Amino acid sequence: MSDNILKLTEFDKENFEGILVHKEGDWLSARLIRIISTMDKINREQMNRGFPDHVYCYEQYIQGFRYIEGEWKKRKKETDPYAIPPFITLYKQVGGGEDA
């Protein structure tokens, strides 16, 4: 593997959620993260050849890890401000709510 591979900066890793969820940032790595998030597993494997750091960080993020103090750590769901309780999602899917 070449040493010239584009890697995510510490800033990108620490602000990964903002880049992915809130669409913050307009630089190359930010755009790559958002493109990777739209890919299926097969295409992510292809993208991994050129941007392994980006794909690795995305996969860590979707598995519930967050980059904290220089390493990827499992985030507790109850402290995740963006977590939607599963019963709310299920309730809306089966036609519950005020409009039903």
User: Whole-model pTM?
Assistant: 0.66
Please write the tens of the pLDDT for every residue from 13-37: 888 888 888 888 889 999 998 999 9
DSSP states of the chain: --TT-----HHHHHTHHHHHTS----SHHHHHHHHHHT--HHHHHHHHHH-HHHHHHHHHHHTTEEEETTEEEEPPGGG-TTPPPHHHHHHHHTT-STT-
Extents of the domains making up the chain: 10-75
User: Would you say residue 53 has pLDDT above 70?
Assistant: yes
